Amino acid sequence: MNDTDNVCLCFHVSHGKIRRFLQREQPQVVSKLSECLDAGTGCGWCRPFLKQMYQQWADGQPVQLTVNPASYATGRDRYKDRGTPEGNSADA
């Protein structure tokens, strides 16, 4: 993903906005990412990805999701159709 790709598709929160939020706010827990334009508070699809980004940041690693944005959006569509987290993986 690049900085303009949305991680939270419900609220259109981009990868770059989340990275900058982490740098600026230095949250103590992953749930604080919800303060970044409500990221993760909609359908729930992005929560494992937000957790991955938070963990990368907390570990001092570059914050980067290596998922194809088109595949990510398709996975979210399937997730919403099924209403279950099946197939929702930050390792995708």
Render pLDDT for 46-60 as a digit per residue (tens, 0 to 9). Answer: 999 999 999 999 999
Domain assignment present for residue 91? The answer is no
Share of residues in the chain with pLDDT > 70 (%): 90
pLDDT over threshold 60, residue 88: no
Domain assignment present for residue 1? The answer is no
pTM score, whole prediction:
0.88
Q: Which two three-digit tokens encode residue 48?
A: 């494992």
Render pLDDT for 6-22 as a digit per residue (tens, 0 to 9). Answer: 999 999 999 999 999 99
Domain residues for 15? 6-82
Q: Which residue has the higher pLDDT, 85 or 30?
A: 30
Domain assignment present for residue 21? The answer is yes
Q: How many CA within 13 A on the CB side of residue 39?
A: 27
Q: How many domains does the chain have?
A: 1
Confidence of residue 92 (pLDDT cuts 50, 70, 90): very low
